[in-house]
C-alpha cells in the first residue's frame, strides 16, 4: 500500500509540476485544493503530499495562515538564481566535455534531433521536456554528484520562467541553435568552450526572463493607472 500511495503522490506531483511550469497556475496564484482535486481526480491526501514535495523544490510557497501559492520570485531572486545556475552549468559543461562517453553522446544527439523536431512543430511543452532532459544529461555526464544536487535545487525554482522564455519565437530559435553548438563542443571534447557556451546560454536566458518580468510589471502598473480614478 505504501508503494501505491507513493506512486500516486509522484504522479500528482508530476501533473501539478507541469501545470505550474506551463502557467496553468501562474506565479502568485493560490492553489485551490478542492478545484485541484477535481482536476486531477484525487483526494486531498495525495494532493497535499504533492504540494509539500513541490514546496521543497521551490515551485510552491506555503503560508501557514493562507495556504499554498505558486512561487513568485522577485527580480533580484531571479537574477541571483540564474547567475548561480549559469556558474553550475558552466562547470557541469566543462566536466562533461572531459568525461562524457560515446553512448552518452549518442543519447544527446538523439535528444537534440527530437528537440529540433519539437521546435519545428512549435510544440513548446515537448520541447521543454527535451530541453530539461538535455541539461540533466549534461550534468550526469559531468559525474559530479555534489554539483548535480546543487544544480537541481537551484534550477527547480526557475522552471516556469525558463519555460515561458521560449514563447518569443526568435529567442526560442536562438536557444535551439545554442543547443546544437553545445553538442558540437561536447563531441569535440572542448571543456573551456563548453563552459563558455553554457554560461552564455544561461545568461541570455536570464536577460530574456528579466525583460519579460519588467514587461509584466509595467503592464500591471499601466492597468492600475487606468482603473484608478
Tell me the pLDDT tens digit for each residue of 127-169: 999 999 999 999 999 999 999 999 999 998 898 888 888 877 8
Q: How far, in Å, CA of 196 to CA of 204, rounded? A: 12
Written as nine digits, the cell of 121 is 512543430
Is 227 part of any domain?
Answer: no
Half-sphere exposure (CA, 13 Å, Cβ side) for 164?
19
CB neighbour list of residue 23: distance below 8 Å, 6 or more residues apart? 160, 163, 164
Q: How far, in Å, CA of 146 to CA of 70, rounded? A: 28
**What does pTM read for this prediction?**
0.81
Same domain, 83 and 151: yes
Written as nine digits, the cell of 161 is 520562467
SS3 70: strand
CB neighbour list of residue 157: distance below 8 Å, 6 or more residues apart? 57, 58, 59, 71, 73, 77, 81
Same domain, 8 and 29: yes
Confidence of residue 4 (pLDDT cuts 50, 70, 90): very low
Q: Tell me: the pLDDT tens digits for 87-135?
A: 999 999 999 999 999 999 999 999 999 999 999 999 999 999 999 999 9
CB neighbour list of residue 110: distance below 8 Å, 6 or more residues apart? none
Is 90 part of any domain?
Answer: yes
Written as nine digits, the cell of 124 is 513548446
Q: How far, in Å, CA of 67 to CA of 44, rounded? A: 13
CATH of the domain at 165: 1.20.120.530
Same domain, 170 and 210: yes
Confidence of residue 187 (pLDDT cuts 50, 70, 90): very high
In this prediction, residue 25 carries a pLDDT of 82
Same domain, 194 and 85: yes
Range of the domain at 142: 75-219
Amino acid at each position: 500500500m505504501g508503494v501505491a500511495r507513493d506512486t500516486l503522490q509522484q504522479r500528482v506531483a508530476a501533473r501539478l509540476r507541469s501545470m505550474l511550469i506551463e502557467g496553468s497556475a501562474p506565479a502568485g496564484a493560490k492553489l485551490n485544493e478542492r478545484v485541484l482535486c477535481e482536476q486531477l481526480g484525487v483526494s486531498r491526501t495525495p494532493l497535499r503530499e504533492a504540494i509539500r514535495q513541490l514546496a521543497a523544490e521551490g515551485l510552491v510557497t506555503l503560508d501557514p495562515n493562507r495556504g499554498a501559492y505558486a512561487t513568485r520570485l522577485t527580480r533580484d531572486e531571479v537574477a541571483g538564481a540564474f547567475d548561480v545556475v549559469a556558474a553550475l552549468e558552466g562547470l557541469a559543461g566543462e566536466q562533461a566535455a572531459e568525461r562524457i562517453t560515446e553512448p552518452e553522446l549518442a543519447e544527446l544527439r538523439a535528444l537534440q534531433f527530437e528537440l529540433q523536431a519539437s521546435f519545428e512543430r512549435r510544440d513548446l511543452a515537448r520541447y521543454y521536456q527535451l530541453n530539461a532532459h538535455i541539461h540533466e544529461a549534461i550534468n550526469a555526464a559531468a559525474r559530479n554528484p555534489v554539483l548535480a544536487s546543487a544544480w537541481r535545487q537551484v534550477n527547480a525554482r526557475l522552471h516556469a520562467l525558463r519555460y515561458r522564455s521560449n514563447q518569443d519565437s526568435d529567442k526560442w530559435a536562438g536557444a535551439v541553435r545554442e543547443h546544437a553548438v553545445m553538442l558540437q563542443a561536447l563531441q569535440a571534447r572542448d571543456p573551456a568552450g563548453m563552459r563558455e557556451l553554457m554560461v552564455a546560454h544561461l545568461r541570455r536566458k536570464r536577460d530574456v526572463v528579466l525583460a519579460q518580468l519588467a514587461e509584466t510589471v509595467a503592464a500591471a502598473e499601466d492597468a492600475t493607472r487606468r482603473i484608478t480614478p
